[in-house]
Chains A and B, each alone.
Chain A
Amino acid sequence: MSRFALRLSMVLMLSASAAHAQNLSPAAPLSPQLGKVASGELVAAWDMTILPSGDGLPQGSGTTETGARLYLEHCVACHGEGGVGGLNNVLVSDEPRPFGETGGKRTVGNYWPYATTLFDYIRRAMPYSHPQSLDDNEVYALTAYLLYRNGVVPAHFEANASALPKVVMPNQEYFIRAYPDWNP
């Protein structure tokens, strides 16, 4: 070993022990662990996640009839009468046939795989100009109405935490989970 290399290795050893002595840790930085335990109140106020199993669906209920009235009040301006012909997304297809069979315009009725998604999306994001302004009963009612308009549920239907996960959407069987096998 040359004198230079020897001196270099001594410097490295010294700096390694210096790092140790001063609790420095360049290789695996330590976490300062500063997270604060969240209160149950905060979690309850923020947690809006709903799973297709129905996990997370709140208490309450709403019927197609109430939904029809609320639709005229909150939704028709953007989505058109009965869910068609508006400026924004078409919500309703003519018949409850799966998109996977018939193609055409993708709507709630012929494409969306889970009814719970409809409740979740209306509750978090609609109406567009006043999101999160509807109460859970109103969201259930609008969900019931749109499912009825799409021919997925009968004219008199009450949406609630036990009924929604049981609704089988027409196109559900056409969905495949690509993760983790899919490669672009």
Chain B
Amino acid sequence: MRDNEAKALELPNTNGLLHRRVFLKGGAAIASIPFLAAGVSAEDRSAPDLVPEWTREPGAGMSPYGDRSHHEADVQRNVVSQPGTVGSGASRTPLQSLEGMITPNSLHFERHHNGVPEIDPKRHQLLIHGMVKRPLTFDLDNLGRYPMVSKMLFIECSGNSAALLAENPVQASVGELHGLVSCANWAGIPLSSLFEEAGVDPAAHWVIAEGADAALMSRSIPLEKIMDDGLLALYQNGERLRPENGYPMRLLLPGWEGNMSVKWLRRLKVVSEPAMTKDETSKYSDVRPDGKSLLFTFPMGVKSVITSPSAGMALRDKGIYQITGLAWSGSGRIQRVEVSADGGATWSEAALDSPVLPKAMTRFRMGWNWSGGPAVLQSRAIDETGAVQPSREAWLAERGRNAVYHYNAIQSWQILQNGDVRNVYV
């Protein structure tokens, strides 16, 4: 695209953001395509720099289970474990290297409390007991006959993005800063059907979920949520769950903090009161500025982050770029994402990729003509309930300095004169 064409598409006073019709026309992205002139000799055709060798030799065979190109081996989760352990900690999704709305299974984030258990699916059972007419067990064979549903859903750890609470901006990639979130197509059995089979006592209000890992990870879940849209997930993006994501079965609570979607699920006890487990009291509770601590802050807030350009990347030259990122909300669909190239002084509406689904990632895009001058890129998501992603300043003012979880404030990426991208607070 020529300079004057790009200029014509710029939205006024936005530091170079381009009108959304850039995408409707598909014009901005089209580069000139080189072609061979007629009359090239056979000799020229064998020159490797002109005609690559892979068109002139048979390729590799089929494979029973595919792998990515070895050229992409550097795209990896960022693994950080607690001192003295290998199985306690997290690995983060490399958001900077991914496109679309789906997180590949190999790159879905992990958070474990004592490693990934090696579970024999033939011996694994799910027990539903407590305040029920009939305590029941289900094995994988039996569960295979139950009616299933599949849904695109994000899972986000409520500790995601906590690095943004640091006094000074941490210089790390978007995956290292915000990669405790992923999105997949999860298929499984609505838990309501298993609970109806067991016959729930009307006086019950909570369900204690427990995993079959070495931490016997345990959380109290409102019965209402289980009956509403709680899923016993068996498949992740079409294949059986990955071991690190709960094989052979996990709880999945759409839109709620990831820790509650207990992996390797083995037991659901129906009770009248929450158990006040370690992971819902000493952890995953939210200290307010007045010193009070909130228990049971379940839904994840509306949030977005620009994944490209993002910290650690460098813009090579001024000119046309596509700003893109992800938006999601634990309360429903993303209604709108706005992008700013001037640190929040002006905002313009981004284009959203289809489909836009409730409690799933939504990919947004915005064209940008970088003048080569200073810029601060931001994105701000609004969900269908009208909730607006807050600024970092507003988030801190409301939640205070002792808060650790549920950070969903606007991320700012500064573009330096030399094109380097940095994490900044504005």
- Whether A34 pairs with B291 at a CB distance below 8 angstroms is no
The verdict on B391 contacting chain A, using a C-beta distance below 8 Å, is no
Q: Does B222 contact A (CB under 8 A)?
A: yes
B277 at the interface (CB under 8 A from A): yes
A73 at the A/B interface (Cβ < 8 Å)? Answer: no
**Contact A37 to B136, CB < 8 A, known contacts A31-B196, A177-B296:** yes
Contact in complex: A124, B297 (CB < 8 Å): no
Which of B129, B274, B408 has most chain A Cβ within 10 Å? B129
Whether the pair B273, A37 counts as a contact (CB closer than 8 A) is: no
Q: Is the CB of A52 within 8 A of B273?
A: yes
Q: Which of B83, B224, B276, B330 contacts A184 (CB 8 A)?
A: B330
* Min C-beta distance of B424 to chain A, whole Å: 24
* B8-20 interface bits toward A, Cβ cutoff 8 Å, 1 = contact, 0 = none: 0000000000000
- Contact between B291 and A103 (Cβ–Cβ < 8 Å)? yes
Q: A51–B274 Cα gap in the complex (Å)?
A: 7
Chain A residue at smallest Cβ distance from B189: A31
The segment from B90-98, B137-145, B307-315, B351-359 found at the interface with A is B137-145
Q: Report whether A29 and B295 are in contact in the complex, using a CB–CB cutoff of 8 Å.
A: no
**Across-interface contacts of B299 in A (CB, < 8 A):** 182-184
Residue of A nearest to B212 (CB): A46
Is A135 among interface residues, defined by CB-CB distance under 8 A? no
Q: What residues on B are CB-neighbors of A184 within 8 Å?
A: 297, 299-302, 330-331, 387, 406, 408
Evaluate contact between B293 and A175: CB separation under 8 angstroms.
Answer: yes
- CB-CB under 8 A from A53, the residues of chain B are 273
Inside 8 A of B84's CB, which chain A residues have their CB? 78, 87-88
B215 beta carbon closer than 8 Å to chain A: yes
CB distance from A127 to the nearest CB of B (A): 11
Q: Are B331 and A112 in contact (CB under 8 A)?
A: no
Interface residues in B53-104 (C-beta closer than 8 Å to A): 82-85, 88
A177 to chain B, nearest CB (A): 5
- Known contacts A182-B298, A184-B302; decide if A176 and B134 are in contact (CB<8 Å): no
Mask for B241-258, Cβ within 8 A of A = 1, else 0? 000000000000000000
| Cα of A176 to Cα of B299 in the assembled complex, Å | 16
- Chain B residues lying within 8 Å of A117, measured Cβ to Cβ, are 276-278, 281-282
Determine which of A50, A100, A128, A132 lies in contact with B291 in the assembled complex, contact meaning CB atoms within 8 Å.
A100
Q: Which residues of A contact B269 (CB under 8 A)?
A: 47, 49
Q: Provide 9 A-B residue pairs closer than 8 Å at the C-beta atoms, listed in order of the A residue.
A: A32-B146, A51-B273, A100-B292, A112-B281, A114-B281, A132-B216, A176-B294, A178-B295, A180-B224
